Amino acid sequence: MTLSRTPSFDLHGKHALVTGASSGIGLGCASALAAAGARITMIARGAARLEEACAAIMETGGKAAAQPLDIADIAAMKDFIAAQGPFDVLVNAAGTARHSPALDTTEADFDAVAAVNIKAAYFAAQAVAQGLMASGKPGSIIQISSQMGHVGGLDRAVYCATKHAVEGMTKAMAMEWGPHGIRVNTICPTFILTPLTKATFDNPERRAWIESKIKLGRVGTVEDIMGAVLYLASDASSLVTGTALKVDGGWTAG
């Protein structure tokens, strides 16, 4: 009897681009891919913190390079991707939020969130796909979306709008680029404990509400996302595209 073999999670020989890579989920994703053997290019706005994050990965034996870059600068981002690619993997973890009641949303807040969460995400995926197609290579494009791309949330109308948009464009891109061997998926975390969300979790009432919504009864950690991104980046998910992988502890289940 010949047994089927588990597809490889190994990423040696792959070049991965991770945006928002200086901290939190982005840094966790970069670390996971580097540990699996990928060569990582890390981009984020803050140079000092990005260099520190890159150095930390290299200290563990990972192959990484850092480039300070604001992905909301579409022209600069596209030029960088064209010059440094092709990238076998894109993990777009850059994102922003300005939470407020919908009646209080300003045009400036709307534009700022949409510029990063929709426009930059769209054109980062496009630029990586263009490089892959030009080189005749397959690839994996992963957008860090949110559980809020599937449900609503109080004071989060703009954020929800942008993440729902990411889910829609991911499905459309997966359909168009599938014949080229390019897979496009999202990871949809619940509330993840990071330095940026610490203030939320330091509020006992807010934390209790969050934990009541998560069926597993605990908030998420960056480590919860690392396995998911490795799966979608590797050959283990070779037939997975146009899909939202919800790492939400059951929040959206009911």
The pLDDT tens digits of the residues spanning 204-245 come to: 888 888 889 999 988 899 999 999 999 999 999 999 999 999
Domain assignment present for residue 55? The answer is yes
Please tell me the pTM assigned to this model: 0.96
Q: Is residue 6 included in any domain, yes or no?
A: no
Total domains present in the chain = 1
- pLDDT range class, residue 203, cuts 50, 70, 90: confident
Alpha carbon 167 to chain centroid, angstroms: 12
Sign of CA dihedral 87, 162, 167, 30: positive
Under a CB-based contact definition with an 8 Å cutoff, are residues 225 and 206 in contact?
Answer: no
Is 159 among the residues known to form the active site? yes
Question: What domain range is 239 assigned to?
Answer: 15-193+222-247
Tokens 């681009």 found at: 17
Residue 45 lies in a domain: yes
User: Is 252 part of any domain?
Assistant: no
Residue 239 lies in a domain: yes
106: burial class by Cβ within 10 Å (0-12, 13-18, 19+)? exposed
Residue 186 lies in a domain: yes
Return the pLDDT at 3: 94
Are 76 and 97 in contact by the 8 Å Cβ rule? The answer is no
Distance, CA of 104 to CA of 117 (rounded, Å): 20
Question: Within a domain: residue 73?
Answer: yes
* CATH, residue 48: 3.40.50.720
Contact 19, 53 (CB under 8 A): no
> Tell me: the pLDDT tens digits for 113-140?
999 999 999 999 999 999 999 999 999 9
Spatial contact of 161 and 144, defined as CB atoms under 8 Å apart: no
Q: Which residue out of 80, 87, 122, 159 is catalytically annotated?
A: 159
pLDDT exceeds 80 at position 196: no
